[in-house]
Homo-oligomer: A and B are copies of this chain.
Amino acid sequence: MPQTFVIAQGGGPTAVINQTMVGAALEARRRHPGCRVLGARFGVRGIRDGDYVDLSLQPEDALLRIAATPSAALGSTRDKPDAAYCELILQGLREVDADAFIYIGGNDTSGTQAILRDAAGSSIAFVHAPKTIDNDLVDNDHTPGFISAGEFVASAFLSVDLDFRALPGIYCGIVMGRHAGFLTAASAAWRLDDESGPHLIYVPERAFERARFVDDIKRTMARHGRCIVALSEGITSPSGKSLVEELTTHDRLEYDAHGNVKLSGTDLAHAIEHILAEDLKGKRARVDTFGYLPRGNIGMINEVDAREAFEAGRFAIEVAAQGGGSVALQEQGGETVLRKVPLENVAGKTRHMPADFLQPDENQLSENGYHYLARLLPRRYEPGMPFV
């Protein structure tokens, strides 16, 4: 009987998650001629509901075009299956005689795989392939999707800094990131010199204090005549609460099914605008929410990111042959290598940005932070220096 591979995509889309899906599908077809490759629509929902696209039947050139397209072509889901839901997924996998299930996603997705594996016994290989713009997977040097998103953020902040050299003022750009600050830190990867923005970086890993924030901006304005700020959506107050929760009027707060406050860039933007209007009166200020813009822009897909994502998908088929596990991107001598790591190393855990990526006494990248980002996000543009 031919082998059957089930592939699904979970969590927030990225610029290159389709590379991983297509890499896995084509590698399965190459190594196992005649195999079935079923793409489940909308993540594990498709398995539960028997809703598949047969990737075995897709022409290779059509798949390669999909690979180069951002967002999850199979659809995605944010479902976190409970025990009963897991049983339905396992039933679904058995109904199609699945030999392996490859689930592409972040730490929630790998958590689902660990639970399914424990519930299923050993008949099916459960594989997690990494994907997240947050770059927050344990055991990974970086994750597919981060480089493209990081380039968007680096390019945007380089450009906004040039804009504010021409018309000085305060700019705050709010960048996705609930628990990890990597993507927000990428804002500083392409600073031109010590005078360049972003001048201040606020990430979830370091408590945000209003008085300190206002002082930081005042000092930067005095020094450079402008102030460019990058803030993570998930920045927290010293009490550990998300800033949105702390600053938003309570009738506006929304909670998800898990009781987590819904992080809205808009609420944070509004709160930040309020702080600037109160404490920095009369200064020209602008707050923008990048939101979904960096995570899958068709105009900014990084080639290294795309290639690594494709190779991670191919390697997932090797991990399936080895009985399952999580595909990890690790660093060795400056090169990215793929390794198999246990699902439980990644499942449900968050890799925070190391504290030493920021300067101890300033909200700016440290040498370590620059070094890490320069390896992943080498500067792509060398603009001429303005005359002001």
CB < 8 Å: which of B171, B300, B381, B384 contacts A66? Answer: B384
What chain B residues lie within 8 Å of A151 (beta carbons)? 299
Task: Report chain B residues within 8 Å CB of A270.
Answer: 266-267, 269-270
A71-B166, A76-B167 known; A293 vs B65 contact (CB < 8 Å): no
| Contact in complex: A160, B292 (CB < 8 Å) | yes
- Residues from chain B with Cβ under 8 Å of A71 in the complex: 159, 162-163, 165-166, 386
- Complex contacts, A159 vs chain B, CB 8 Å: 70-71, 293, 296-299
Given A266-B269, A266-B273, A287-B266, are A387 and B74 neighbors across the interface (CB < 8 Å)? yes
Residues of B within 8 A of A9 (CB): 166
In the complex, what distance in Å separates the CA atom of A239 from the CA atom of B75? 42
Given contacts A266-B269, A299-B380, A384-B62, contact A162 B288 (CB under 8 A): no
Do residues B288 and A265 form an inter-chain contact, with CB atoms below 8 A?
Answer: yes
Does A166 lie within 8 Å of B75, measured CB to CB?
A: yes
- Contact of A290 (CB < 8 Å), options: B77, B288, B381: B288
Q: Which residues of B contact A152 (CB under 8 A)?
A: 299
Instruction: Indicate whether A115 reaches chain B with its CB closer than 8 angstroms.
Output: no
A 345-388 contacts with B by CB, 8 A: 380-388
Q: Please determine whether B155 and A297 come into contact, CB atoms closer than 8 angstroms.
A: yes
Pairs A–B under 8 Å by Cβ, sample size 19: A39-B387, A69-B383, A69-B384, A73-B388, A74-B387, A76-B166, A155-B297, A158-B298, A159-B293, A159-B296, A160-B292, A163-B295, A252-B274, A266-B273, A266-B287, A286-B292, A288-B289, A299-B300, A299-B381
Q: Is A264 an interface residue (CB 8 A)?
A: yes
Q: Mark A255-296, 1 if CB is under 8 A from B, else 0.
A: 000000000111101100110010000000011111111011
Among residues of B, the one whose C-beta sits closest to the C-beta of A77 is B167
Q: Would you give the shortest CB distance from A343 to chain B, in whole angstroms?
A: 24
Given contacts A12-B167, A13-B166, A166-B13, contact A381 B298 (CB under 8 A): yes
Verify if A78 is at the interface (C-beta below 8 Å from B): yes
Q: Apart from A71-B165, A265-B288, A289-B289, what 18 extra A-B contacts exist at CB < 8 Å? A: A42-B388, A53-B387, A65-B382, A69-B384, A72-B167, A73-B386, A74-B166, A75-B165, A75-B166, A75-B386, A159-B296, A160-B293, A163-B296, A266-B287, A267-B270, A267-B273, A286-B291, A288-B291
Which residues between 225 and 277 of chain A lie within 8 Å of chain B, taking CB atoms?
Answer: 252, 254, 264-267, 269-270, 273-274, 277
| This chain's copy number in the assembly | 2
Say yes or no for A191: interface residue by CB 8 A criterion.
no
Interface contact B13-A298, CB-CB below 8 Å: no
The chain B residue sitting closest to A151, CB to CB, is: B299
| CB closest chain-B residue, reference A42 | B388
A314 at the B interface (CB under 8 A): no
> Given A254-B277, A277-B254, A290-B293, A163–B13 Cβ distance below 8 Å?
yes
* Docked CA distance A387–B264 (Å): 29
Nearest-CB distance from A60 to chain B (Å)? 12
